[in-house]
Amino acid sequence: MNQTDQIDQKTILVGVTDIFFYTKVRDALMAKGYKIERARTQQDIAEKASATIPSAFILNMNDETLNAFQALETLKADAGLKTIPILAFANHEEVDTFNRARALGVTKIVSRNEFSARLKDLLEEVAGNHA
């Protein structure tokens, strides 16, 4: 018997403000039976993560509207949220972004192209570590 009273195994918090890219992510994950919570602001991230305790968080490190680094700091500062696995993506040439994201505790970070091509596999790899 699984302990599912705290972690919602099928809810994914998605920190992507680009509506077209978000729609692509949402459609791919919903087809696999995941429930999606979209975070558009820093406040959304803290509130929705606390309310749902998602099984994973997807974060666009290049999203300046959301400020991904601040989002990571917010999640990692909260004892109840800091164990949520985080799948992040960024432009492949941004080595500093990759390094900084890892230093802030991202579970896995990949290029935007790899994220688009392998979204479901990557998510299952990251969220599987949490279950």
Q: Residue 23: which pLDDT band, with cuts at 50, 70 and 90?
A: very high
In the chain the domains, ranked by start, together with CATH numbers, are: 8-128 (3.40.50.2300)
> What are 36-76's pLDDT values in tens digits?
999 998 888 888 988 888 899 999 999 888 889 998 998 88
Please report the pLDDT score of residue 53 as a whole number: 81
> What are 97-130's pLDDT values in tens digits?
999 999 999 999 999 999 999 998 998 899 875 4
Please report, in angstroms and rounded to a whole number, the separation of the first and last CA atoms in the chain. Answer: 12
Vertex 16 angle, CA 14 and 22, to 5°: 85
* Res. 80: pLDDT tops 90: no
Contact (Cβ atoms closer than 8 angstroms) between residue 29 and residue 119? yes
